[in-house]
Amino acid sequence: MDNDTIISPSAEQLRDRLVDDLLADKTVTSPRVEEAFRSVPRHVFAPGAPLEQVYSRDIVVVKRNEQGTPISTVSAPEIQARMLEQAEIGPGMRVLEIGSGGFNAALIAEIVGTTGQVTTVDIDQDVTERARAFLNEAGYERVNVVLADAETGMAEFAPYDRILVTAGAWDIPPAWTDQLAAGGRIVVPLRMRGVTRSLVLERAPGSDADHLVSRSAEVCGFVKMQGAGAHTERLWLLRGEQVGLRFDDGALEEPSLLDGVLASERAAVWSGVVVGRAEPFESLPLWLATSLPGFCALTVDSSAGDPGLAVEAGGRWFPYAVAEGDSFAYLSTRPSGEGRVEFGAHGYGPHAADIAASLAGQVTVWDRDYRRGSGPDFAVWPIDTPAERLATRPDRTAVISKVHRHVTISWPSVDSPH
């Protein structure tokens, strides 16, 4: 066929193909969300990007900072669809979106209809100006676009039936709950010891309404919150700029103890836990984050060459690590038959074998108790909540204290059905 006779798919065809894919894998499950995705022209909100990229399942970067890190994106449609399904938005609702871009606000506007109200807020003037222009072009002039730091919410249009946060949040400011209508819910990608989950938060029933409980949790990833709600992680470099340990909550007491640790003798400990290479294990990082003191993220810049981290032939390392004193270990795998791998840990430092065994041991506990379960319960409490109210299951509850809130992650007791 001559190239001149090839006709590229139209935006409408590509959009319908994307929605069909989201329906097929049950990412989109409700008629309202489906109709919104079929109606809103995503390409209007990403001018200049190829249509095939716009209507793929990837993010489209809108703005980067000086270091080249994305600070504003059109999020992956899979993530947007899951959050909208979590939110269960209906016609006539008042919705606040924290983190603009325009496309998601347009989706929400389609769902709430002309009797509802959508307000989208962003701290970056470039982002809000672009969002306003794109929304107008796409026919959603009724959406309120506000330049503001959302740490204090947006009282002008409150109360809200739904608050959707489309930036990675480290904490839940009081204003968000203060501006939430009775029976409302917050959908927020919340960082907990470096692990992010999109949580559906509602006020606890009855006399416990002083705190929020989660109705569902989904794996997600978003650019980090800016402004007053930003949180700076602590990074300790182990090999130049190439390998480091990043703490989202907590810190190393004596970082100098890890100086030169990657040059020390290493140890590998294997758990006996085997999974398929394509098998999801989304609850494992959460279990490690809640069960291992010193949990952190292993960060590696492979663009500078081989980082020199130990892995078995055919295996790999994961960015989940634990550090204690003068030693640390990270999660890894090795081949274990056709299409299968075994979890283990590689450790460095004077106590490499011990710390690797600790990490591998918690993988074994996860496999025994939680691998096939529904995962933990999450709750968000005012920071002045007495400690005795937080840990209802002390042996299976992690309490993460932030600025405004405590976050509890409670795993089912081993003898309860899950």
Task: Identify whether residues 193 and 280 lie together within a single domain.
Answer: no
Which among 264, 294, 275 has a CA at the least distance from the CA of 358? 294
How large is the C-alpha radius of gyration of the chain? 23
- The enclosing domain of 26 has a CATH number of 3.40.50.150
Show the domain range for 323: 234-369
Give residue 99's Cα distance to chain centre: 14
Q: Looking at residue 89, what is its pLDDT?
A: 98
Quote the number of domains for the chain.
3
Task: Identify whether residues 20 and 56 lie together within a single domain.
Answer: yes
Residue 417 lies in a domain: no
Half-sphere exposure of 337 (CA within 13 A, CB side): 7
- Render each residue's pLDDT in the chain as its tens digit; 418 residues: 444 445 668 999 999 999 999 999 999 999 999 999 999 999 999 988 889 999 998 888 766 677 666 656 678 899 999 999 999 999 999 999 999 989 999 999 999 999 999 999 999 999 999 999 999 999 999 999 999 999 999 999 999 999 999 999 999 999 999 999 999 999 999 999 999 999 999 999 887 789 999 999 999 888 889 999 999 999 999 988 899 999 998 888 899 999 999 999 899 999 999 999 989 999 999 999 999 999 999 999 888 788 888 888 899 999 999 999 999 999 999 999 999 999 999 999 999 999 999 999 999 999 999 998 889 999 999 999 999 888 766 678 999 999 999 999 999 887 654 4
Q: How far is CA 356 from CA 197, 277, 294, 349, in A?
A: 26, 22, 13, 10
Task: Identify whether residues 17 and 142 lie together within a single domain.
Answer: yes
**pTM, 2 dp:** 0.90
Q: Looking at residue 36, what is its pLDDT?
A: 98
Neighbours of 78 (CB within 10 A): 18
Q: How far is CA 82 from CA 59, 98, 189, 297, 368, in A?
A: 14, 16, 12, 26, 29
Task: Identify whether residues 381 and 365 lie together within a single domain.
Answer: no
Q: Looking at residue 378, what is its pLDDT?
A: 96
Residue 311 lies in a domain: yes
Task: Identify whether residues 131 and 159 lie together within a single domain.
Answer: yes
DSSP per residue over 16-41, as a string? HHHHHHHHHTTS--SHHHHHHHHHS-
Task: Identify whether residues 114 and 240 lie together within a single domain.
Answer: no
Task: Identify whether residues 225 and 171 lie together within a single domain.
Answer: yes
Residues known to be catalytic: 75
Which among 123, 126, 105 has a CA at the least distance from the CA of 44? 105
Task: Identify whether residues 246 and 225 lie together within a single domain.
Answer: no
Residue 416 lies in a domain: no
Residue 310 lies in a domain: yes
